[in-house]
């Protein structure tokens, strides 16, 4: 009787420089310099990873979707996330005459 196939993806380590993933039998690093979404994430957010298809990882708590191929070869995927926070701007002080 056929069962449901579960695609394996597991976070094996979180360090100060990267997140390590075990995908099937391959261990891959996600350095924060290439994958900045994980740098300020909590352990719980990082560990909550889904693998809907063989080449798709999804972190619902972070709303991050990545292809496994983009982890293997980040240089082939040059678009990078940019911070949405805006620098604070202090208005110029009023000039006194």
Task: Sketch out the chain's domains with CATH numbers.
Answer: 9-75 (3.30.2020.40)
Tell me phi and psi for residue 38, to 5 degrees. Answer: -90, -15
| Cβ–Cβ under 8 Å, residues 21 and 12 | yes
pTM of the model: 0.73
> Across residues 51-68, what is the average pLDDT?
95
Tell me phi and psi for residue 29, to 5 degrees. Answer: -100, 140
Query: Is the pLDDT confidence value at 22 over 90?
Result: yes
Residue-wise pLDDT for 63-97, tens only, equals 999 999 999 998 888 765 554 444 444 455 556 65
The rounded distance, in Å, linking the Cα atoms of 82 and 7 is 30
């Amino acid at each position: 009787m056929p069962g449901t196939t579960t695609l394996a993806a597991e976070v094996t380590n979180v360090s100060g420089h990267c997140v390590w993933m075990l995908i099937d039998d391959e261990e891959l690093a996600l350095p924060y310099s290439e994958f900045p979404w994980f740098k300020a994430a909590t352990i719980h957010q990082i560990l909550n990873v889904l693998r809907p298809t063989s080449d798709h990882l999804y972190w619902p708590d972070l709303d991050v979707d990545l292809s496994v191929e983009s982890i293997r070869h980040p240089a082939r995927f040059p678009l990078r996330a940019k911070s949405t926070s805006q620098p604070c701007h202090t208005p110029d002080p009023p000039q006194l005459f």
